[in-house]
Amino acid sequence: MSELEMVEILLVEDNSSDAELTVRALKKSNLANHLIWLKDGAEALDFLFCKESHAGRLSGQPKLIMLDLKMPKIDGIEVLRRVKGDEHLKTIPIVVMTSSREEKDIVESYKLGVNSYVVKPVDFQQFHDAISSTGLYWMLMNKVPEK
Amino acid sequence: MTFIQKLSKYGVAAAFWIALITLSIITVVSYTAHNQAYDNWRWVEHTQQVSLEIEELTSLYLSAKVTWRNFISAGKNIDLEAYESAVNAIPLKITSLQTLVSDHPQQQQRIKTLSNLLDGDIAVIGATVSLKAGGRFVDPSAPFAPDLNWQKIKHLADIIQNEEKELLTRRSLELKQSTARLVLIIITGNVAGLGILTLAFYFLQREVGQRKIAQDALTASEHHFRLLAESEQAANKELESFSYSVSHDLRSPLRAINGFARILHEDYADKLDDEGRRLLKVIRDNSNRMGILIDDLLEFSRLGRKPLAAVNVDMTALVQGVNDEFQNECHGRSVQVIIHPLLPAYGDPSLIRQIWVNLLSNALKFTSHIDSAFIEIGMQEGNGTIIYYVKDNGAGFDMRYYDKLFGIFHRLHRDNEFPGTGVGLAIVQRVILRHHGKVWAEGKPNQGATFFFELPQGSKDERA
């Protein structure tokens, strides 16, 4: 993973199996060429705010953040709050990808300004399809403001 | 209801009425007594007045007589004024006395006699006064002298006075007796009234107390039930979130197993030999099966918790609908399904639908190896209930293992014969038990099975 390269998708997911399956589904749709996978909320924030181990990276920001909610240290809700509360980062589309269909999580995410909320299907095929179509929509069909 | 309870129920009102009547009687009696006492007081006055009048009468008579005597002995120069006023006053006194004793004929008679005696004397006196005044000689010791009727008059006056006194004594005694009776009545009545009121008060107090106790108990039990409902709600919520966690946390690794096995198959199938590919298939089949088990388990738990929304259920339409949905699955098979007209049941339509889905899919599954499958759905009317049945000519079962038939995850057939998780009939039983119904079955190996279930009968005119 080279930080000099442009990052298109930032995947924040603590479960390595889910991450691998996600990456594979995105790869099949040719969307994983510029993808970076981080394992928890703290690392994601460091990356986005160019701090700690990511202090020296070039300041290019991802076009899409795929965010899990249930994570150790800093959870997805907190990442969402910090990113959407930041003037420079708030325009980055964030898709929450989680197993939780709890109303509380959904409401909270939307209040914080999430762009999309996807419940991970339990079936592998459906999971695969959901990841692909989400990636395709946000990376190819959705239009974001020019920096 | 015990006697005490009855008494306290009707007694309070009755006691108040009795007390009211008692006190009213006492009021009337007291009033009467007061009047009687007043009368008695008037009688005393009356007696005194009669005595006084008699005294006055006799004194008038005596004064007339003394004046007359002096006139007779002393002659003309004696003034007759006192005599004349006495003679004039006597008839008035007589009239007054007659009025006073008007209620007593005997006394009236006596006064009349007295009046006659007095009149007699006055006539004699008047005649002698006229003679003397005419200058004629009147002998003071004449036959009418010296006392005329005085002795008789005195005696009669005494009799009249004594009679009045005696009357007074008698009336006083009567009054004393009646007063004593009255006092007894008043005391008894008051005591009784107060006693009844006290009793009524006691019962009222008791009832108020009992009501308070009942109210407290009600409040306590309401509180208890609210807590119970709250805790049940909490437990349900916990179970729901537990089921949710189970479904997701169990399935997440399952997704990985299945997904990676698939990836392995997709990317490395050509590098594996037949045995390797077979082992991979075993992994995938079992992960799929576990997925189905988890789904069924969740469904079983969901059906057990879902609140019942009971209405009249048109069973014929429901069964037709379920059967239509299964038509695709029977493609290429010879299956005859006969649905007899069904009376409506009373229950939760979505749960009852699940019963039909499970029983019909079972019937189709266990007849899958039969060349010409035959499934019959019908009913019998029970006592306020309907017994529905699903009969097939499929694999049947051995009645020796009947007790395992409805148990969750219990199966009477091997998976390679008839696939399944052993949850379907457990769900059927659970749904029926939640409707306070019954479910049972009859079967013989390779001769088919019949499943019966009994549900409350629905109303015929009102359709859900």
Residue B383, Cβ density class (10 Å: 0-12 exposed, 13-18 middle, ≥19 buried): exposed
Chain B residues 276-305 within an 8 A CB cutoff of chain A: 291
Helix (H) or strand (E) holding B195: helix B150-245
Residue B76 confidence (pLDDT): 59
User: CB B284: neighbour CB atoms within 10 A?
Assistant: 19
Residue B423 confidence (pLDDT): 85
Binary contact (B255, A127; C-beta < 8 A): yes
Residue B287, Cβ density class (10 Å: 0-12 exposed, 13-18 middle, ≥19 buried): buried
Phi/psi of residue B396, nearest 5 degrees: 65, -165
Shortest Cα–Cα distance, A57 to chain B (Å):
33
Nearest CA in chain A to B253: A17
The domain defined by B309-456 folds into: Heat Shock Protein 90 (3.30.565)
Shortest Cα–Cα distance, B231 to chain A (Å):
21
Q: How far apart are CA A117 and CA B420, in angstroms?
A: 35
B342: left (phi over 0), alpha (psi -120 to 50) or beta: beta
Phi/psi of residue B458, nearest 5 degrees: -90, 170
Which residues of B fall within a CB distance of 8 Å from A27?
Answer: none
Helix (H) or strand (E) holding B390: strand B385-392
Binary contact (B252, A124; C-beta < 8 A): no
Q: How far apart are CA A47 and CA A77, in angstroms?
A: 17
Which residues of A fall within a CB distance of 8 Å from B250?
Answer: none
The counts of H helices and E strands in chain B are 9, 7
Binary contact (A17, B256; C-beta < 8 A): yes
A122 in reach of chain B (CB within 8 A) = yes
A103 in reach of chain B (CB within 8 A) = no
Q: B429: closest CA among B407, B403, B410, B449?
A: B407
Phi/psi of residue A117, nearest 5 degrees: -130, 115
One DSSP character per residue, B77-99 reads: TS--HHHHHHHHHHHHHHHHHHH
Residue B157 confidence (pLDDT): 84
Shortest Cα–Cα distance, A36 to chain B (Å):
21
A99 in reach of chain B (CB within 8 A) = yes
Binary contact (B291, A99; C-beta < 8 A): no
Q: Which of A13, A70, A100, A122 to mutate against chain B (most B CBs within 10 Å)?
A: A122
Shortest Cα–Cα distance, B396 to chain A (Å):
34
Of B252, B260, B291, the CB nearest to A99: B252
Chain position carrying tokens 């009600």: B218
Which residues of B fall within a CB distance of 8 Å from A101?
Answer: 244
- Give the residues across from A117 on adjacent strands: A96
Q: Which CATH number fits domain A9-141: 3.40.50.2300, 3.40.640.10, 3.30.365.10, 1.20.1740.10?
A: 3.40.50.2300
Residue B75 confidence (pLDDT): 62
Binary contact (A24, B263; C-beta < 8 A): yes
Per-residue pLDDT of chain B (464 residues; tens, 9 = 90+): 566 666 666 777 777 788 888 888 888 888 887 887 787 777 778 888 888 888 888 888 888 877 777 777 776 556 677 778 888 888 888 888 888 888 888 888 888 888 888 888 888 777 777 777 777 776 666 655 556 777 888 888 888 888 888 888 887 788 788 778 778 878 888 888 888 888 888 888 888 888 889 899 889 888 888 888 888 777 777 777 777 677 667 777 888 898 899 899 989 989 999 999 999 988 988 888 888 888 777 777 777 777 788 899 999 999 999 999 888 877 788 889 999 999 999 999 989 999 999 999 999 999 988 888 999 999 999 888 999 999 999 999 989 888 888 888 788 887 778 888 888 898 899 899 889 899 999 999 999 999 999 999 988 654 44
Q: Which of B248, B263, B290, B299 to mutate against chain A (most A CBs within 10 Å)?
A: B248
Q: What is the three-class DSSP state of B450?
A: strand
Q: B309: closest CA among B344, B346, B356, B345?
A: B346
Residue A71 confidence (pLDDT): 86
Binary contact (A15, B252; C-beta < 8 A): yes
Of B248, B254, B262, the CB nearest to A99: B248
CA angle A77, A81, A83 (to 5 degrees): 115
Low-confidence ranges of chain A (pLDDT < 70): 1-5, 59, 147
Q: B71: closest CA among B121, B20, B145, B133?
A: B133
Binary contact (B251, A100; C-beta < 8 A): no
Q: How far apart are CA A104 and CA A107, in angstroms?
A: 5
B258 in reach of chain A (CB within 8 A) = yes
Q: What is the DSSP letter of B435?
A: T
Nearest CA in chain B to A123: B255
A111 in reach of chain B (CB within 8 A) = no
ipTM computed for the complex: 0.74
Shortest Cα–Cα distance, A21 to chain B (Å):
7
Tens-digit pLDDT profile for residues A59-76: 688 999 999 988 888 889
Nearest CA in chain A to B250: A122
Strands B438-443 and B372-381: unpaired
Residue A1 confidence (pLDDT): 45
Report domain extents, chain B: 3-205, 309-456
CA angle B11, B12, B16 (to 5 degrees): 110
Q: What is the three-class DSSP state of B12?
A: helix
Q: Are B104 and B166 in contact (CB under 8 A)?
A: no
Q: How far is CA B311 from CA A141, B114, B349, B386, B436, in A?
A: 49, 111, 7, 15, 15
Residue B184 confidence (pLDDT): 85
Nearest CA in chain A to B294: A122
Amino acid at the residue A9: I
Residue B328 confidence (pLDDT): 81
